[in-house]
Amino acid sequence: MSAGGRAGPSLAAVAVRGAALTYDDGTQALQPIDLGIEAGEFVTLLGPSGCGKSTLLKLIAGLLRPSVGEVRIRGAPPQALDTARHRVAFVFQAPTLMPWCRVAANARLPLDLAGMARAEADARVAEALARVGLGDSANKLPHTLSGGMQMRVSIARALVTRPDLLLLDEPFGALDEITRQRLDIDLLGLWRERALTVVFVTHSIHEAVFLSQRVVILAARPGRIVAEHIVDEPYPRQPEFLVSTRFAGHARQLQELLAQASTTADDDAAGRNATWPHGSAGREPRWP
């Protein structure tokens, strides 16, 4: 993808070129990564704990800088973009709300930081809260909300800036299955209606297949991209898709790709058993 080209302002594309991250103590968190994401794409980064998928997302956001290589958003380094041109929203694993602020003030935060006029900011907040189904909760404090509702506030906060690139770091990982699925469906709705580019990090094969057009598979120690998988299924995707044979097929393929990646890692290490390496990395993909 020609990220450095004459991309129009509506085009939000990500280009990661040879970006690697090594910590000060010499640990290599990410081997050089090459990844291009087209405007309007829904891409999932899938992998076990410790594979660097969150790190990669933070590199794209500009929260971390690569040790070597470069990250470009619409042709410019993420840090170089001012707020007006940045238009990147980040949703963390936890809701990360300010507990002392009411829901509306939490959602208004990025607009307040940008110095937007109060009236316009309030209008945007009201619209975003209504979109995530929290129109009635604007005056509540975060601790009075359920985990799922707090996550919705976090998403509303991401929407108020009218981003064209939405980065989500395992956003629904701590929620129960039913709430998670509802939020997944809502997210797909948002993506389609706002023509967003979405980069979604998860360790759930289910979620990856259900949501994405393209799944990028990462392996751990050191973190690297090992495979890509296209989920060529039509949208809108309904809950029925979850129990279809096509869904199971994609999930099996992802499962195999993840298993291969871990086997390779084990071959590199010593043995040839097909479990996840290094204990704590865990058998996180929970596909039967």
Partner 1 sequence: MAMTGAAAALSRPLRAVLYPALVALVLLGAWQITVDALEVPPYVLPSPWRTVQTLIADWSMLGAALLVTLRITLLAFALATLCGTALAFVFVQSRTLETALFPYAVLLQVTPIVAIAPLIIIWVRDPTAAMTICAALVALFPVIANTTLGLRSVDPDLLGYFRLHRASRMQVLLRLRIPGALPYFFGGLRISSGLALIGAVVAEFVAGTGGTGAGLAYQILLSGYQLDIPRMFAALLLISLTGIALFAAMSLLARGVLRPWHASEINRE
x/- contact string, 32-71, with partner 1 (CB under 8 A)? --------------------------x--xxx--------
- Report, in angstroms and rounded to the nearest whole number, the Rg of the chain calculated over CA atoms: 19
Asked whether 187 and 198 are in contact (CB, 8 A), the reply is yes
Q: Please report whether residue 230 would count as binding partner 1 according to CB under 8 A.
A: no
Burial zone of 68 (CB within 10 Å; 0-12 exposed, 13-18 middle, 19+ buried): exposed
Q: Please report whether residue 156 would count as binding partner 1 according to CB under 8 A.
A: no
Locus of tokens 């290589």: 69
Q: Please report whether residue 110 would count as binding partner 1 according to CB under 8 A.
A: yes
Q: Please report whether residue 174 would count as binding partner 1 according to CB under 8 A.
A: no
Q: Please report whether residue 146 would count as binding partner 1 according to CB under 8 A.
A: no
Residue of 6, 25, 100, 236 that binds partner 1 (CB under 8 A):
100
Question: Smallest distance from the beta carbon of 110 to partner 1, in angstroms?
Answer: 5
Categorise residue 75: left if φ over 0, alpha if ψ from -120 to 50, beta otherwise: left
Question: Smallest distance from the beta carbon of 67 to partner 1, in angstroms?
Answer: 19
Q: Which string of DSSP letters, residue by residue, matches 166-223?
A: EEEESTTTTS-HHHHHHHHHHHHHHHHHHT-EEEEEES-HHHHHHH-SEEEEEETTTB
Question: Smallest distance from the beta carbon of 128 to partner 1, in angstroms?
Answer: 15
If the CB atoms of residues 94 and 227 are measured against partner 1, the closer one turns out to be 94
Locus of tokens 């129109």: 135
Binding residues for partner 1, rule: CB under 8 A, are 58, 61-63, 82-83, 86, 88, 90, 92-94, 96, 98-101, 109-110, 112-114, 141-143, 161
